[in-house]
Structure 1
Amino acid sequence: MAGDLDTRFPDAQSSLGLALWRASTSWQRHIRAALAPHDLTHVQYVLLASLTWMDRTVPVSQRDLAAHTELDVMMTSQVLRALETKGYIRREPHPEDGRANALHPTERGIELANLATRDVESADASYFAALTPTQRDSLLAAFQHLASPPSVAPDQRTPHDPSSSEDQR
């Protein structure tokens, strides 16, 4: 029955979470449209672009890539298989970890990552153009703050907390 929701908000527009949800889905539509000509999903793009960026410094394992993108390891594995099937990435034995493979973008993958990145960055610029530069800076700072892991104050650590200095012997 309408109107029976037990909420602290007087109306939907007052909910920060709902506003974030709506902005996020609106932004995702813009990104999907930018990626459609490249036949990439948003997750495929994030993994391919991240791998292309990371590959210039050190060998990248699937676990490294999942951690960098903050995606589930199993989802990362499935999406990487699709990118490999399309010829955008390749795997070879990891030089430092015999249990892992090192991932590398292929030349086609690098080309696609760069083309798609230009379109994604254009879509971002277009989407966020409704904000002033100050609003964009504030929004970026707020997102970075929300996405960073919470720190644990020293007096809140438990004896079994791995960040406790006694456990770091």
Structure 2
Amino acid sequence: MPKEIEFHFKSTQDSPGYLLGQLTMLWQRKLKKVLDPLDLTQTQFVLLAALGWLSKKNDAVTQVDIANQSNADRMMVSKVLRTLEDKKFISRQEHQTDTRAKVIKLTSEGAKVLQNALTAVENADLDFFSGLGNNLSLFNQNMVSLIEQNKDE
């Protein structure tokens, strides 16, 4: 008979990882509802948003830039960008100075879809996190701290 399993936390309500996992699944489910009609997954949206954000300051956004901005795996970014290119939401062009890199740009269709997605996701976020009320800013600050603390792991 196996020895009884011991948990550090007394209940699931005390486990930050468990709670974060539950919250993430609920939030992703909500985003799926608003992104499905736009033919986007959450990951595709995140990469399009990263591209849109980076494009405001740089005309030569690369796949590596998008991966770094979104804290995403480079190989996964490559695959998702191929899908976005197939959907005609982005284009890839030769980089002027780095022959190994491609410049990623939003197409006019991609910009339109991104704008619609941003509005839908931002509204979904406001609704989802509305229960935090005046604590939303503190919640965001805590998330930023945790991201910075764990970014390089």
TM-score normalised over the length of structure 1? 0.83
1:144 and 1:86 mapped to 2: Cα distance? 32
Q: Does 1:89 align with 2:93?
A: no
Which residue type is aligned with residue 119 of structure 1?
A
* Residue aligning to 2:140: 140
Q: In the superposition, relative to structure 1, how do residues 39 and 4 fare at CA in structure 2: closer, same or farther (>3 Å)?
A: farther
Q: Deviations over 1:96-133 (max 9, x none)?
A: 31221100000000000000100000000000111112
Q: Which runs of 5+ in 1 are unaligned?
A: 151-169
* Residue aligning to 2:118: 117
Q: Deviations over 1:71-104 (max 9, x none)?
A: 1001000000000001000011112312211000
* Residue aligning to 1:158: none
Q: In the superposition, relative to structure 1, how do residues 149 and 96 fare at CA in structure 2: closer, same or farther (>3 Å)?
A: farther
Larger mean Cα displacement after TM superposition, 108-117 or 141-150: 141-150
Count of aligned pairs: 148
1:137 and 1:17 mapped to 2: Cα distance? 21
Q: Which runs of 5+ in 2 are unaligned?
A: none
Which residue type is aligned with residue 74 of structure 2?
V
Structure with larger Rg: 1
* Residue aligning to 2:29: 29
2:4 and 2:121 mapped to 1: Cα distance? 41
Structure 1 runs of 4+ with >6 Å offset? none
RMSD over equivalenced CA pairs, Å: 1.6
Name the % identity: 34
TM-score normalised over the length of structure 2? 0.91
1:114 and 1:16 mapped to 2: Cα distance? 33
1:149 and 1:91 mapped to 2: Cα distance? 33
* Residue aligning to 2:61: 60
